């Protein structure tokens, strides 16, 4: 296997964890928002209001949108890291540009984490003054923000592994 360019897929696995964990953040956010919406509707403070076909209130829909956009931002950046990792595995020119680009892409990753860490779902519940919604959020909801830096860290480890494998493959051909 050595020198074939096909061994040691750990770098690619770690790179693939980025989009997977961003999707997990979105999925966990949807589950949390749906639980909070159920609590809002069944709570004593519910005065009626618009509920869409998916069973979401206005607050639930807004909270889901913020979660979805945050996950989308991080997911797109994570996919860019996967593409960069695949390109770094190939022998050729442009590796320096790809490494600089990967360094610049950390900014949107950090932005997504900061937005998730601020917990916009809870902030929206406070802004809308709906304590039943906030009380209905699962206890684990605030911890889902840490899925995003976990994705970034996995990709931060996977990218150099993929780049090193590309260097080894190029050295074996020379």
> What DSSP assignment string belongs to the chain?
-TTSS-S-THHHHHHHHHHHHHHHHHHHHHHHHHHHHHHHHHSTT-------TTS--HHHHHHHHHHHHHHHHHHHHHHHHHHHHHHHHS-SS-HHHHHHHHHHTHHHHHHHHHHHHH-HHHHHHHHTT-HHHHHHS-TTGGGGGGHHHHHHHHHHHHHHHHHHHHHHHHHHH-
88: in domain? yes
With bands split at pLDDT 50, 70 and 90, how would you rate the model's confidence at 4? very low
Q: Evaluate whether residue 73 is within a structural domain.
A: yes
For residue 166, being part of any structural domain is answered with yes
Domain assignment present for residue 85? The answer is yes
What is the pLDDT, as a whole number, of residue 1? 42
Give the domain extent around 48. 10-173
Asked if residue 1 belongs to a domain, the reply is: no
The count of domains in the chain is: 1
The predicted structure's pLDDT at residue 173: 63
3-class secondary structure per residue, 42-69: HCCCCCCCCCCCCCCCHHHHHHHHHHHH
* pLDDT of 20 above 70: yes
| Residue 170, pLDDT score | 58
Domain assignment present for residue 165? The answer is yes
The mean per-residue pLDDT over the stretch 112-128 comes to 94
pLDDT in tens, 59-91: 999 999 999 999 999 999 999 999 998 888 876
Residue 2 lies in a domain: no
Residue 4: inside a domain: no
Band of pLDDT at residue 172, cut at 50, 70 and 90: low
What is the number of alpha carbons within 13 Å of residue 70 lying toward its C-beta?
A: 32
pLDDT digits (tens, 9 = 90+) for 90-116: 766 777 888 888 889 999 999 999 999
């Amino acid at each position: 296997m050595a020198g074939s360019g096909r061994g040691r897929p750990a770098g690619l696995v770690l790179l693939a964890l980025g989009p997977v964990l961003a999707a997990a953040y979105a999925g966990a956010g949807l589950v949390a928002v749906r639980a909070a919406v159920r609590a809002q509707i069944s709570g004593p403070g519910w005065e009626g209001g618009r509920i869409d076909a998916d069973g979401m209130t206005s607050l639930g829909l807004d909270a889901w949108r913020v979660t979805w956009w945050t996950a989308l931002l991080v997911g797109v950046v994570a996919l860019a890291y996967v593409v960069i990792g695949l390109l770094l595995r190939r022998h050729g020119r442009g590796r320096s540009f790809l490494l600089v680009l990967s360094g610049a892409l950390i900014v949107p990753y950090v932005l997504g984490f900061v937005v998730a860490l601020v917990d916009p779902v809870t902030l929206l519940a406070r802004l809308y003054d709906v304590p039943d919604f906030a009380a209905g959020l699962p206890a684990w909801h605030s911890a889902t923000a840490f899925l995003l830096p976990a994705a970034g860290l996995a990709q931060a480890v996977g990218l150099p592994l993929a780049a090193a494998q590309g260097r080894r493959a190029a050295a074996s051909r020379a």
